[in-house]
Amino acid sequence: MPKFKTLDDLDLAGKTVLVRVDFNVPMSGGKITDLTRIERAAPTIRDLTRKGAKVLLLSHFGRPKGKPNLEMSLQPLVPAIAKVLGQDVAFAADCVGAAAQEAVKKLAPGGIVLLENLRFHAGEEANDPEFSQALATLGDTYVNDAFSAAHRAHASTEGIARLLPAAAGRLMQAELEHLAAALEQPRRPVVAVVGGAKISSKLDLLGNLVARVDMLVIGGGMANTFLNAVGVKVGRSLCEHDMAGTAKEILEKAKAAGCDVVLPTDAVVAAEFAAGAASEAVSVKAVPADKMILDVGPATAEHLARRLADCATLVWNGPLGAFEIPPFDAATNSVAQAAAKLTKAGKLLTVAGGGDTVAALAHAGVLEDFSYVSTAGGAFLEWLEGKTLPGVKALEDAA
């Protein structure tokens, strides 16, 4: 497991703590439409305030490209953050300089201030040493609770961690511990479920997983590319015909590593991807030339649910079908529900994340039943690909 300090390793009373959070939340009409990222950061913030620390919240929002842009100000988030935390939250009109320094001076122990958008300064994304130093001068200690931004070597995720005593927040800690349990020191057998539209966007992920898991289940549009590679005609289905050679190479690598790759044996097909479209389940060897595969078939879904019962660890990334429109959500729903049942029975560790995975599991009604569901997106995918995440590496180096 990665070696890093946590909040339990820090002397926090009376200290000013810079906390990197990810409050890049979805907004509509000036209001936050999903509070998940704020709610997930709350345990760390509350832990710090209870211990008498002064808390400075650092976050990016949108893509202002290194210049102030009032449309991407963090100030409108203050009421929602205060409501989630149950205490007042101050706001500083800048994240460095006089405005930030003045906000820190006014802060009492246990107080919280949200600093303005980090990306209003070009030095943030450039990981500029001077900008990192300007941030560091505001506090005594640094806490990174933004795993979702840990794949970026930015000043607030990497640079500052090398200038102050640094530790992982509760959310970062939970993420890293669950990821380690899923792939670094897993209970075996380990199964990975990988869906999504194209294998071209997940080559590194698939290449890493076949060497680390015992069974790889391939669904979604990318399953069509693998079926095509092994000589199965997929009609009008989404398929990267030019990736047939690559798909074969992945299958050969899996075989050499002793990884069992499971492809659909039946599929749900329709003439169009639309609500109410007539559909039917057919063998993958009998897909009509004028129809497209939009979901894994019921026999395959039932087979996968049975296979899960023999596994100890599941890593899930991507839906098995076009879950947004019924009945093409059936396989994702049934397999996810089978995994959730095994999780609740204590028989399966389930870790999921990336892309449409969170939405698919929420649609299946099992979001709260998996062992851990990451909302980190790109960082979760890069971890699945076996890449070093700069924000995590900086915490490890600081331990």
Catalytic residues, by residue number, are 37, 198, 355, 378
- Short-list 309, 294, 308, CA closest to 264: 294
* Residue given tokens 């405005």 in the structure block: 99
- Short-list 50, 54, 51, CA closest to 15: 54
Do the bridges between strand 266-270 and strand 292-296 make them parallel or antiparallel, or are there none, so unpaired? Answer: antiparallel
- Short-list 205, 170, 219, 221, CA closest to 372: 170
b vs e for 98-110, b when ≥16 Cβ sit within 10 Å of the residue's Cβ? Answer: eebeebbeebeee
- Short-list 154, 50, 61, CA closest to 390: 154
Neighbours of 47 (CB within 10 A): 17
Mutual angle of helices 78-85 and 36-50, in 10-degree steps: 60
Kindly state the tokens that stand for 40: 């997930």
